[in-house]
Structure 1
Amino acid sequence: MPPDALIYGGISNNISRTQSTGSSELDQLRSTPSSTTEESDGEIVNADADIAVVGSDSRSPGDLVEIRQIGSRVPVFAIYLGNYGNRNHFYAVNGKWITSMGFSALFSVSHFVTDQELLPVLAKIPQNATPEDFDELRRLERGPSREDGVALINKMTEFRLSSEAIYQEHMNKLDGARSLLSDPTSAKYLSLFEIADVLLPATLKGDRGFSPPALYAVHTALYRNEIGFNPLSPSADCHRRDHLFEVFPSKHTDVITKIATWVRQYADMSAKKMRPLKLNELDDIALGRFILQAREAVLRSRQTREWTPHGILKTGPSVTLPKVDWSPSSRDVITFLEWWASYDLFDAGSRYHSYGALILRWLRLYEDTPLDQSTAWTLLQEIGVIAPWEIPSRYRVRFPGTTIDRGGGITRTVVPNQLKTSTRPDIAEAARTPSKGSAVFCIDAPSTTLIDDGISLERTDQPNECWIHVHVADPASAIEPESELRRFMELIPENIYLPGHFQAMLPSGLGQDKPADCTSEALIKHHSLRPGAPALTFSALVNESGDILDYQIAPSTLGDVTYLDPEDVSAFCGEDIPLTPTPTPATTETSYSFHVGTPPDNSVAAPERPMTSTQALDESSKADILTLSRLAQAIKQKRLAKGAWPYFFPRPSVQVLFHEVIPEAEAAEGAALLFPPDPYIKVGHESSSGCSVVSSTMVLAGEVAARWCSDRGIPIPYRKDSKLTADNLNAAFDYATRVIYPLIRQGIPPSASHRRELTRLTGGIRLSTEPGPYFLLGLDMYTKATSPLRRFGDLLVHWQIHAALAHERKTHRKIDSSVDDVENILPFNKTSLRETLPLLDMREKMGRTVARGVLDWILIALVRAWRFEDKAPRTLRFTVASQWRQGLLGSLDMFDLNAVMDISGLNGCRLVKDVQVGDEFEVELADVNVHSRRILVKALRYIGKKGT
Structure 2
Amino acid sequence: MPPPPWSPLQPPAVHLQRDHLAEGSNVSPLTAVPDSLLGKDGARPPMRDYLRLWINANRPDKRVVEDSHDLGDQALTHRSINSIVRTQTSQSINNEVINPEQAGMANLSDGRVFNRDDFEVGLESKKPGDLVEMRSSSSRTPVFAVYLGFIASRHHFYGQQGRWIMSTGFTSLFTVSNFASQAEIQPILDSLPRVNSTEEFDEARINDRGPPRAVGMALIEKMHNFMTEANTVRLQNLDKLDRIRQLVAAETHTKYLSLFEIADMLLPASLKKDGKFPATALFAVHTTLFSDEIIFRPLSPSSDCHRRDHLFEVFPTTMADVLATVSTIVRHYWVVTDKFPLESQEGVLSKCGALNHFINRCRRLILKYRERRASVNGYIVPSEKESIVGDLEWTSDRGHQQIIQFLQWWASYDLFEPGSRYSTYGSTILRATGLYPDRYLDQSTAWTFLQELGIIPLWEVPSRYRVRFPGTDIVVGGGISRNDEPKVKESLREDIAAEYRHGRDQQRVFCIDSPEAILIDDGVSLKPTDKSDEFWISIHAADPASVIRPDSPLSKYMELIPENIYLHGHFQAMLSGQDGGGPDKAIQDLVQKYSLSTGSPALTFSAKVNMAGDVLAHKIEPTVLSDVTYLDPEDVAAFCLEPRPPPMQKQELVVGKKPATDTLPSGALASSRKMSKAADLAQPDKESLLTLYRLAEALKRKRVEKGATPYFPPGTSVDVVFPPVKTNSKLPSGLIQRPGDPYIRAHTADDHNCSVVGNLMVLAGEVAARWAHERKLPVPYRRDVSSARYDEVRKFVSEQVYPDVEKGIAPDFDKIARVLVMTGGVQLSTDPGPHFMMGIDMYTKTTSPLRRFSDLIAHWQIHAALAKEHRLQRPLDPAQDDLNAILPFPEADLKNTLALLHMREKMARVVSRGEKDWILMALARAHRFDGTAPGKLRFTVTSRWKSGVIGTLDLFKLRATMRVQDMNNKALLMKVHVGDQFDVELLNVDPYQGTVEVTALDYIPRERAKPTLVGEPVAS
TM-score bracket, normalised by the shorter chain, equals over 0.9
Per-residue deviation, residues 334-365 of structure 1 (Å, max 9, x unmatched)? 11000000100011111111110111111111
1:572 is aligned, of 639, 643, 667, to 639
* Structure 1 match to 2:142: 75
Per-residue deviation, residues 655-713 of structure 1 (Å, max 9, x unmatched)? 111223799xxx9x982111111111110011104211100000000000001111111
1:694 is aligned, of 757, 774, 779, to 757
Q: CA deviation at 1:15?
A: 2.1
Contact map agreement 1:716 1:769 (CA 8 A) in 2:
yes
The structure-2 alpha-carbon separation of the partners of 1:627 and 1:556, relative to structure 1 and needing over 3 Å to count, comes to same
The structure-2 alpha-carbon separation of the partners of 1:45 and 1:301, relative to structure 1 and needing over 3 Å to count, comes to farther
Determine whether 1:109 maps to 2:176: yes
* Structure 2 match to 1:586: none
The structure-2 alpha-carbon separation of the partners of 1:752 and 1:208, relative to structure 1 and needing over 3 Å to count, comes to farther
Contact map agreement 2:485 2:578 (CA 8 A) in 1:
no
Residue aligned with 1:366, SS? coil
Contact map agreement 2:507 2:626 (CA 8 A) in 1:
no
Whole-angstrom CA distance in 2 between matches of 1:477 and 1:734: 44
1:755 is aligned, of 812, 816, 823, to 816
RMSD: 2.4
Whole-angstrom CA distance in 2 between matches of 1:235 and 1:761: 18
Determine whether 1:596 maps to 2:630: no
1:271-670 equivalences under 5 Å are 271-274=338-341, 275-278=343-346, 282=350, 285-308=353-376, 314-324=382-392, 325-326=394-395, 327-416=397-486, 418-435=487-504, 438-507=507-576, 519-582=586-649, 591-603=650-662, 607-660=671-724
Q: CA deviation at 1:306?
A: 2.5
Whole-angstrom CA distance in 2 between matches of 1:79 and 1:322: 52
* Structure 2 match to 1:897: 958
Contact map agreement 1:892 1:899 (CA 8 A) in 2:
yes
What's the TM-score once normalised by structure 2's chain length? 0.88
Per-residue deviation, residues 231-267 of structure 1 (Å, max 9, x unmatched)? 1101111011111000000111111111111100111
Whole-angstrom CA distance in 1 between matches of 2:90 and 2:478: 46
* Structure 2 match to 1:122: 189
Q: CA deviation at 1:427?
A: 1.2
Per-residue deviation, residues 311-349 of structure 1 (Å, max 9, x unmatched)? 765334101124232222111111100000010001111
1:743-892 equivalences under 5 Å are 743-892=804-953
Q: CA deviation at 1:307?
A: 2.7
Whole-angstrom CA distance in 2 between matches of 1:761 and 1:92: 22
* Structure 1 match to 2:68: 3
- Single out whichever of 269-278 and 759-768 deviates more from structure 2: 269-278
What's the TM-score once normalised by structure 1's chain length? 0.95
Per-residue deviation, residues 399-422 of structure 1 (Å, max 9, x unmatched)? 000010111110111113x42110
* Structure 1 match to 2:252: 185
Contact map agreement 2:484 2:578 (CA 8 A) in 1:
no
Whole-angstrom CA distance in 2 between matches of 1:127 and 1:177: 48
Q: CA deviation at 1:310?
A: 8.2
The structure-2 alpha-carbon separation of the partners of 1:814 and 1:370, relative to structure 1 and needing over 3 Å to count, comes to same
Residue aligned with 2:133, SS? strand
Unmatched runs of 5 consecutive residues or more in structure 1: 583-590
The structure-2 alpha-carbon separation of the partners of 1:42 and 1:570, relative to structure 1 and needing over 3 Å to count, comes to farther
* Structure 1 match to 2:330: 263
* Structure 1 match to 2:51: none
Q: Which amino acid aligns with 2:537?
A: I
Whole-angstrom CA distance in 2 between matches of 1:265 and 1:486: 51
Contact map agreement 1:467 1:541 (CA 8 A) in 2:
yes
Contact map agreement 2:980 2:1004 (CA 8 A) in 1:
yes
Contact map agreement 2:576 2:584 (CA 8 A) in 1:
no
Q: Which amino acid aligns with 1:920?
A: Q
Residue aligned with 2:85, SS? coil
Determine whether 1:24 maps to 2:93: yes
Contact map agreement 1:437 1:457 (CA 8 A) in 2:
no
Whole-angstrom CA distance in 1 between matches of 2:648 and 2:634: 20
Residue aligned with 2:869, SS? helix
Q: CA deviation at 1:749?
A: 2.6
State, as a whole percentage, how many aligned pairs show the same letter. Answer: 47
Contact map agreement 1:270 1:276 (CA 8 A) in 2:
no
Q: Which amino acid aligns with 1:4?
A: H
Number of aligned positions between the proteins: 928
Whole-angstrom CA distance in 2 between matches of 1:312 and 1:946: 44
Contact map agreement 2:783 2:832 (CA 8 A) in 1:
yes
* Structure 2 match to 1:585: none
Per-residue deviation, residues 202-240 of structure 1 (Å, max 9, x unmatched)? 111111511111101100000010101001101111011
Determine whether 1:94 maps to 2:130: no
Determine whether 1:705 maps to 2:768: yes
Residue aligned with 2:771, SS? helix
Residue aligned with 1:431, SS? coil
Contact map agreement 2:193 2:204 (CA 8 A) in 1:
no
Per-residue deviation, residues 3-43 of structure 1 (Å, max 9, x unmatched)? 32223122334323222396535522234534311134576
Determine whether 1:211 maps to 2:272: no
Contact map agreement 1:311 1:929 (CA 8 A) in 2:
no
Q: CA deviation at 1:57?
A: 0.6
Whole-angstrom CA distance in 2 between matches of 1:881 and 1:312: 33
Whole-angstrom CA distance in 2 between matches of 1:303 and 1:578: 52
Contact map agreement 1:27 1:71 (CA 8 A) in 2:
no
1:162 is aligned, of 216, 221, 229, to 229
The structure-2 alpha-carbon separation of the partners of 1:342 and 1:580, relative to structure 1 and needing over 3 Å to count, comes to farther
* Structure 2 match to 1:228: 295
Residue aligned with 2:609, SS? strand
The structure-2 alpha-carbon separation of the partners of 1:785 and 1:882, relative to structure 1 and needing over 3 Å to count, comes to same
2:748 is aligned, of 667, 685, 692, to 685
Whole-angstrom CA distance in 2 between matches of 1:66 and 1:517: 44
Q: CA deviation at 1:447?
A: 0.8
Contact map agreement 2:605 2:621 (CA 8 A) in 1:
yes
Q: Which amino acid aligns with 1:239?
A: H
Whole-angstrom CA distance in 1 between matches of 2:251 and 2:802: 55
* Structure 2 match to 1:587: none
Q: CA deviation at 1:507?
A: 1.4
Whole-angstrom CA distance in 2 between matches of 1:649 and 1:387: 34
- Single out whichever of 184-193 and 116-125 deviates more from structure 2: 116-125
Contact map agreement 1:453 1:529 (CA 8 A) in 2:
yes
1:716-731 equivalences under 5 Å are 716-725=779-788, 728-731=789-792
Residue aligned with 1:429, SS? coil
The structure-2 alpha-carbon separation of the partners of 1:312 and 1:91, relative to structure 1 and needing over 3 Å to count, comes to farther
Q: CA deviation at 1:648?
A: 0.3
Contact map agreement 1:310 1:930 (CA 8 A) in 2:
no
Q: CA deviation at 1:286?
A: 1.6
Q: Which amino acid aligns with 2:513?
A: D
Residue aligned with 2:675, SS? coil
Q: CA deviation at 1:936?
A: 0.6
Per-residue deviation, residues 618-673 of structure 1 (Å, max 9, x unmatched)? 1111111100000011011111111111110011001111223799xxx9x98211
Q: CA deviation at 1:175?
A: 1.6
Q: Which amino acid aligns with 1:554?
A: E
